[in-house]
Chains A and B, each alone.
Chain A
């Protein structure tokens, strides 16, 4: 409770509580995350339990439409899977891939950026040239190429086991440049400040200076990039899964569900694709709104 009150009294908390849009976005994200994490306990059905699937119930429309039943609130797909439960489990896959790939981007980008900014010289120019070259290719293309190449290079049975990790690696690697460039710029500024010089004079190891002194000071822009990066990662995952080169069919994500539902649009079963799509868009817009808000609050200089 005390922590909540402290948050409400801080600048961040004030700006949060006084923007209805941001509060709404945070609520959407919270609901989606809770529903995804708690899918095992909260979902009305287990879409992966083949024994519980009733083929007889396949293509049931949402409950409020003619022919719908309340045990399947959002209807079922062609195999009799409950759409709501599939969305909850699918969101879990989407969020997991999103968070993991953002973490990977950070794990690559932040150290490289700090090393670049702190030591400068040859190392700096090599890292930054590489970053610049990678930046000329759109992230989604790089992710698609890495994923596509690894997919074809590995035998099919091995691949489906590690497909999720390949996907995380592909998306994570395609987005590290942003972090590296920002952290490098910030490190350059911090390095010339007195507290860093004082640490250097007293003989603190450079690694320790970077970790203990510079890292905390570059945290807020990184948080902003990471939030917007999360939205981007979720979209990239959904896109690759929609194209059929993302997560394996045994672990459907939101993108996979939309891909499946897309085949039924023309025959009138609109609910199979629509509800996962709405979930995806609501999640991504909300995360983007939070990111925009964080940027405005943490960077008063950019506040236009």
Chain B
């Protein structure tokens, strides 16, 4: 257990290190930071002075080490586009993304698991067939189109819900929440559904196929042969065995929710990290890009570590394998 955990942590650090290097090299590939800061009119002496002060004359290794040192302290420099510290921009947009992702995940899990169970235990019922067809459409419908479709129906045609923005945001310390105002909650609905659709169809399909597999296992046949009630076999024996892989995948999906949030946030002009990132790509705003890269890598690595550990706790077979 400890050995595996240690290996995972080392691996995670390597990944983070690699991403940090990519983020760092962005600065040297893209434009000259001195030009970006001083503008075209600066004299040669000013430029040389600036280069020295920024430490651009040091070796790459020294610069990289300094970059990491600053990144660890949350110091990513100043956005080229907005002339504000990157860390402030991130702090402003992070709550928006996290609130959106959280509710999307709750919706996806809350609907996905029951639908998956239903389509597995009543395979041939009409409801299941309709739901499976729906899941095929859900998996084929690109996230951005789902968003546009919802906007068309609920904003343009019916005029019930806003099509962009976050509504009224209230500050709670540094965390700006949209959950305490009516307009904030209304603004959250469509983006949440948009972000949840794809994840939900994945969960439905996964739960269904896992459940179907478990239902064919020997211990289920045995339980049936003992004459246990079908409900008990399904929910008491099959379901718990289905949930182990489901929990893992759902955990891993948390990361991809944050990735897909880029798309959803762009469609709804939701002021989160994804929108910030897309804008930084369009405007070649390197400090913001670098910070986003590092942050998203960190989030992924942490989620993966946690899921690995969780898997270990849930599935006793893994523990006994380590003992061999």
Confirm or deny: B194 has a beta carbon within 8 angstroms of a beta carbon on chain A. no
Interface residues on B, range: 35 or more
In the complex, what distance in Å separates the CA atom of A231 from the CA atom of B141? Answer: 10
Output the least CB separation between A134 and chain B (Å): 10
In the complex, what distance in Å separates the CA atom of A141 from the CA atom of B156? Answer: 30
Q: With A265-B156, A280-B145 as known contacts, state yes or no: A239 contacts B140, CB within 8 Å.
A: no
Confirm or deny: A165 has a beta carbon within 8 angstroms of a beta carbon on chain B. no
Output the least CB separation between A269 and chain B (Å): 11
Partner of B256, one of A138, A148, A235, A244: A138
Partner of B259, one of A141, A149, A245, A280: A141
**Are the C-beta atoms of A280 and B142 separated by less than 8 Å?**
yes
Give residues of chain B (239-295) contacting chain A, Cβ–Cβ below 8 Å.
252, 255-256, 259-260, 262-263, 266, 277-278, 281-282, 284, 286, 289, 293
**Are the C-beta atoms of A137 and B300 separated by less than 8 Å?**
yes
> Contacts of A192 on B, CB cut-off 8 Å?
none
**Are the C-beta atoms of B260 and A140 separated by less than 8 Å?**
yes
**Are the C-beta atoms of B26 and A149 separated by less than 8 Å?**
yes
Give residues of chain B (120-147) contacting chain A, Cβ–Cβ below 8 Å.
136-137, 139-145
**Are the C-beta atoms of B209 and A304 separated by less than 8 Å?**
yes
**Are the C-beta atoms of A284 and B140 separated by less than 8 Å?**
yes
Interface residues of B, dominant DSSP: helix
In the complex, what distance in Å separates the CA atom of A284 from the CA atom of B141? Answer: 8
> Contacts of A285 on B, CB cut-off 8 Å?
136-137, 140
Output the least CB separation between B197 and chain A (Å): 13
Kindly count the residue-residue contacts between A and B in the assembled complex, taking CB atoms under 8 Å apart: 98
Confirm or deny: B9 has a beta carbon within 8 angstroms of a beta carbon on chain A. no
Q: With A238-B142, A258-B144, A304-B209 as known contacts, state yes or no: A152 contacts B286, CB within 8 Å.
A: yes
Q: With A243-B278, A265-B148 as known contacts, state yes or no: A235 contacts B142, CB within 8 Å.
A: yes
In the complex, what distance in Å separates the CA atom of A242 from the CA atom of B266? Answer: 9
> Contacts of A145 on B, CB cut-off 8 Å?
293
Output the least CB separation between B269 and chain A (Å): 11
Output the least CB separation between A105 and chain B (Å): 19
Interface residues on A, range: 35 or more
Q: Mark A260-288, 1 if CB is under 8 A from B, else 0.
A: 00100110001001000100110011001
Confirm or deny: A166 has a beta carbon within 8 angstroms of a beta carbon on chain B. no
**Are the C-beta atoms of B255 and A265 separated by less than 8 Å?**
no
Confirm or deny: B11 has a beta carbon within 8 angstroms of a beta carbon on chain A. yes
**Are the C-beta atoms of B145 and A281 separated by less than 8 Å?**
yes
Give residues of chain B (294-313) contacting chain A, Cβ–Cβ below 8 Å.
296, 300, 304
In the complex, what distance in Å separates the CA atom of A137 from the CA atom of B262? Answer: 14
> Contacts of B259 on A, CB cut-off 8 Å?
137-138, 140-141, 144
Q: Mark B5-38, 1 if CB is under 8 A from A, else 0.
A: 0000001000100000010001001100000000
Interface residues of A, dominant DSSP: helix
Confirm or deny: B1 has a beta carbon within 8 angstroms of a beta carbon on chain A. no
Q: With A144-B262, A231-B140 as known contacts, state yes or no: A136 contacts B304, CB within 8 Å.
A: yes
Partner of B145, one of A149, A244, A277: A277
> Contacts of A266 on B, CB cut-off 8 Å?
156, 163
> Contacts of A245 on B, CB cut-off 8 Å?
278, 281-282
Partner of A153, one of B26, B212, B255, B300: B26
In the complex, what distance in Å separates the CA atom of A35 from the CA atom of B289? Answer: 40
Output the least CB separation between A107 and chain B (Å): 23
Confirm or deny: A92 has a beta carbon within 8 angstroms of a beta carbon on chain B. no
- Nearest residue (CB) in B for A148 is B281
A-B contact pairs, 27 of them (CB 8 A): A137-B259, A140-B263, A141-B259, A141-B262, A141-B296, A144-B259, A148-B289, A149-B22, A153-B26, A235-B142, A239-B142, A242-B144, A243-B263, A243-B266, A245-B281, A258-B144, A258-B145, A262-B148, A266-B156, A266-B163, A273-B148, A280-B142, A281-B141, A284-B140, A285-B136, A285-B137, A288-B139
Other A-B pairs beyond A152-B286, A242-B142, A281-B140, 8, CB < 8 Å: A129-B11, A137-B255, A149-B26, A152-B29, A153-B29, A244-B278, A262-B148, A266-B163
Ranked 4 nearest A-B pairs via Cβ: A141-B259, A138-B256, A148-B281, A285-B140
